[in-house]
Structure 1
Amino acid sequence: MMMVQPKLTVVGAGPGDPDLITLKAINVLKEADVVLYDALVNSELLRYVNPNAEQIFVGKRRGCYRYQQEQINELIVERGYSKGHVVRLKGGDPFIFGRGAEEMEYATAKGMDVAVVPGISSSLAVPAYQNIPLTKRGSSESFWVITGTTKQHKLSEDIRLAAKSNATVVILMGMGKLSQIVELFQKEEKNELPVAIIQNGTTKKEKIGIGTVDTIENIVEEQQLSNPAIIILGEVVNHRNEILQVQRNINSKLTKSA
């Protein structure tokens, strides 16, 4: 009888578009004995999983937890020692607000081997899919990526600091705190700063609202934008309209010459 070698590999599934998962991640899924996957993982990715592997949904939907984090940690260890290679499939990149580091620490303390496969973070890919660069010569030299809600369910203090900078600001999990975010930027007299909110980014259900600090709350209400969504604040948001305008001009010329 072969001895089970307990191992945890934390894998980033990417931001939603199934084509944005990495080749390395696919190869790990093919080798898995157990896959624990989250709600933000595109279900199409499960077709890459070893057909003999156990698949367990451990995500959160509509504010309800199927498993608490402590239970997930224990499940990783239990399945690792009973079945072998556990793959923890998480949306985006597991080290960017994904709690991947916590799960690896727990598994390591219990004697398991651990590894990580980075994923494409929604903080980068979702704006890019809408032609919004996080940095652009003459507009932004840096960017912040901040969680909108801390462990204590409060607004991150880093947003206050980011509002004082000239950097692009990307806020994840911030829709429930949008009014407070707007207020912080208004206090810095950035009322006309462009803002984009992208819901279900890189997927077929993607929706986008574009406005300014002063108008974005009305736009969210009009377009009924909600989680999961990303908030982008900065002059780089205007790049999207510039690209769209150039495309319109080219299409118009082609139509007239036809």
Structure 2
Amino acid sequence: MAEHPAYPVGLRLTGRRVVVLGGGQVAQRRLPALIAAGADIFLVSPRATPSVEAMADAGEITWQRRRYEEGDLENAWYALIATGDTEANTRASAEAERRRVWCVRSDDADEATAWTPATGHSEGVTVAVLTTDAKGRDPRHTAAIRDAVVEGLRDGTLVAPHHRTRTPGVALVGGGPGDPDLITVRGRRLLAEADVVIADRLGPRDLLAELPPHVEVIDAAKIPYGRFMAQEAINSALIEHAKQGKSVVRLKGGDPYVFGRGMEELQALAEVGIPCTVVPGISSSISVPSAAGIPVTHRGVAHEFTVVSGHVAPDDERSLVDWPSLARLTGTLVILMGVDKIGKIAETLVAHGKPADTPVALVQEGTTAAQRRVDATLATVAETVRTEDVKPPAVIVIGEVVKVGPTASAPRE
């Protein structure tokens, strides 16, 4: 038998009896997939790991607390033999052979009638990698191949064309704070499958270079606005391309719903009946401080953090921020889009009781190769922004957490 390769097949085990002998680590690893397959699982073992015992307590498996006995494999479709008793494993394997039950043995692959492949999943596809013969079995190599294929499918570097008709629509994808590695797996896969990408300036630009030549990339900042407001023009572009039957990705920086106007775009699409998928992204409000060595919360220092938009000055009648209340908070204040208004913001916070020596950090181009951090206080931050030539995009962190991390630097006096 070892001279011939194994024949790969997918077992449909829903409602069918599966017998597992042994409740140790092997069973703990294999049981979740069998449960997910809908199998009727019968576990025979005098003992089990806490995780396996929890599966029994939850009613996901039936557990007989005893050793293997002849006849346990009756009416089984599939058996996993994984006890620490070689003699019992041999007897169970022989019973499986007599009853024509496909049998996996964890202790001796040569004596098994089935092998378990290294499996992974990606958007409705199961990848199963199987060694072709027993003599050359190398589980680590097999698992490495599995991981490479699954990772490629998930991050879009391995793209298999769809031959079925795809439903046209729009995906609002949060691209994260700037580093292309910080986009979500799902976001990267949708980007790889897109026909049209409408990208923000703050999206992960490096990912656009990886797209196939046929993908149309549109810079949202360069859409001709004409009689439209900027956002209306973007909405119109999304609708126009989606109505042409194309798969459209709206690639945004950070998260679509954190000061990203993503809901406005979703509402515009919903009004004309275009389906829309929202893929959350890592917000710069927490990721950029983290990349600069600043925790937005820290035990004994800050028990809360507040994120506000600084694109409107505190004394502007359009401002919706309660700045006096923010000045009274003892936690961390994170300000986005506030570089050019930070002087007025700092002045307002101090006027309402925030100590003038409260630490401030400005992190420019966070998570990218151009990242830099500049420290100041509320009293000095306006002048520091001018003298250090801090430019957007930059995340501003105000609070004692600025001094916590090992990379903290002395503020400008």
TM-score, normalization by structure 2 = 0.54
Structure 2 equivalent of residue 170 of structure 1: 334
Between 218-227 and 74-83, report the one with greater CA deviation: 218-227
Structure 2 equivalent of residue 194 of structure 1: 359
Helix, strand or coil at the partner of 1:181:
helix
Q: Aligned equivalents of 1:185 and 1:19: distance in 2? A: 36
Structure 1 equivalent of residue 278 of structure 2: 116
Given candidates 345, 365, 384, the residue that maps to 1:219 is 384
Question: What are the superposed Cα offsets for residues 164-203 of structure 1, whole Å, 9 maximum, x if unpaired?
Answer: 1112000111112112111122121411111001111111
Alignment of 1:218-257 (within 5 A): 218-240=383-405, 243-244=406-407
Q: 1:97 to 1:143 in 2, by over 3 A?
A: same
RMSD value over aligned CA atoms?
Answer: 2.2
Q: 1:9 to 1:92 in 2, by over 3 A?
A: same
Instruction: Indicate conservation of the 8 Å contact 2:295/2:401, yes or no.
Output: yes
Question: What are the superposed Cα offsets for residues 6-50 of structure 1, whole Å, 9 maximum, x if unpaired?
Answer: 311000111011111111111101111211001112321113435
More helix, by proportion = 1
Structure 1 residue 143 and structure 2 residue 305: aligned?
A: yes
Structure 2 equivalent of residue 182 of structure 1: 346
Given candidates 314, 320, 325, the residue that maps to 1:161 is 325
Structure 1 residue 16 and structure 2 residue 178: aligned?
A: yes
Helix, strand or coil at the partner of 1:89:
strand
User: Which protein has greater RCO, CA pairs closer than 8 Å, 6+ apart?
Assistant: 1
- One-letter amino acid of the structure 2 residue matched with residue 239 of structure 1: V
Q: Aligned equivalents of 1:167 and 1:66: distance in 2? A: 43
Between 149-158 and 3-12, report the one with greater CA deviation: 149-158
Q: Which runs of 5+ in 2 are unaligned?
A: 1-163, 409-413
Structure 1 residue 88 and structure 2 residue 88: aligned?
A: no
Q: 1:79 to 1:189 in 2, by over 3 A?
A: closer
Give 1:124 shift.
Answer: 0.7
Give 1:119 shift.
Answer: 0.8
Q: Aligned equivalents of 1:153 and 1:72: distance in 2? A: 27
Give 1:121 shift.
Answer: 0.7
Structure 1 equivalent of residue 191 of structure 2: 29
Structure 2 equivalent of residue 72 of structure 1: 234
Q: Aligned equivalents of 1:213 and 1:57: distance in 2? A: 36
- One-letter amino acid of the structure 1 residue matched with residue 245 of structure 2: K
Instruction: Indicate conservation of the 8 Å contact 1:29/1:50, yes or no.
Output: no
Q: 1:108 to 1:50 in 2, by over 3 A?
A: farther
Helix, strand or coil at the partner of 1:127:
helix
Question: What are the superposed Cα offsets for residues 56-86 of structure 1, whole Å, 9 maximum, x if unpaired?
Answer: 11137xxxx7541101101111100113211
Helix, strand or coil at the partner of 1:41:
coil
Structure 1 equivalent of residue 73 of structure 2: none
- One-letter amino acid of the structure 1 residue matched with residue 336 of structure 2: L
- One-letter amino acid of the structure 2 residue matched with residue 219 of structure 1: T
Instruction: Indicate conservation of the 8 Å contact 1:4/1:82, yes or no.
Output: no
Structure 1 equivalent of residue 374 of structure 2: 209
Q: Which runs of 5+ in 1 are unaligned?
A: 246-258
Identity %: 39
The count of corresponding residues between Structure 1 and Structure 2 is 238
Given candidates 269, 281, 286, the residue that maps to 1:107 is 269
